[in-house]
Amino acid sequence: MESVPLHIIHLDQDDPKKCTARKMNKFGSAIIHNKIQNSPKRGFLLNPRSKSIFGPDDARMINLGSSIVALDCSWKQIDSSLDFISNKTRLTEKTLPIVLAANEVSWGKPGRLSTVEAFAVSLYIMNRKDQAKKILKPFRFGEQFLDLNKEPLNSYASAKNNVELELLQWDYFDKNIVI
């Protein structure tokens, strides 16, 4: 099975030493775009504010070569960054089901994922588990992320459609969680 193309729109807002996007690019796991116009034209933009969940219903587009695109920005500037990007791209915006972060900055916080964690969740949902494990490998928290979220991730990967996936997350997390 061919790898899913992973792209990052990088806004250069975070500490470079903690930036998982830069490390992914260094290891050849994802391509960084500093200019929005150079990012893919077809695919999915991971957006934690989207009302539409990324899941099994999106597999057809992924299998046809669509990219998964993450916005690498500071969580402190997420709203303004998403507003800025949303007006400049035609990518389909999707949110991910809730999992716990394992990165050093947001450890244990539901949904406060680093770029590599967000990609890993999206790949896991698409049953591209080997690619998810591969992109997490260079990170100290990579294995811990998968262990911490093992049950929900396996459950999400077995969902038949996006509606079922959206409902499954509430088996693991409180509906009142604010990300």
Burial 19-51 (b: 16+ CB within 10 A, else e): bbbbbbbeeebbbbbeebeebbeebbbbbbebe
- Ranges of each domain in the chain: 6-171
What pLDDT, on a 0 to 100 scale, did the predictor assign at position 136?
Answer: 97
Cα–Cα distances (Å) from 157 to 13, 54, 56, 82, 123, in that order, read: 32, 11, 8, 27, 9
What pLDDT, on a 0 to 100 scale, did the predictor assign at position 164?
Answer: 97
Cα–Cα distances (Å) from 45 to 1, 22, 106, 108, 171, in that order, read: 22, 18, 21, 24, 26
Per-position DSSP letters for 36-92, written without gaps between them: GGGS-SSEEEE-TT-SSB-SGGGHHHHHTT-EEEEEE--GGGHHHHHHHHHTT--PE
What pLDDT, on a 0 to 100 scale, did the predictor assign at position 15?
Answer: 64
What pLDDT, on a 0 to 100 scale, did the predictor assign at position 96?
Answer: 97
What is the pTM assigned to this prediction? Answer: 0.91
What does the pLDDT profile of the chain (179 residues) look like in tens digits? 689 999 998 876 666 677 888 899 999 999 998 887 788 888 999 988 889 999 999 999 999 999 999 988 766 766 666 666 777 778 899 999 999 999 988 899 998 899 999 999 999 999 999 999 999 999 999 999 999 999 999 999 999 999 999 999 999 988 776 66
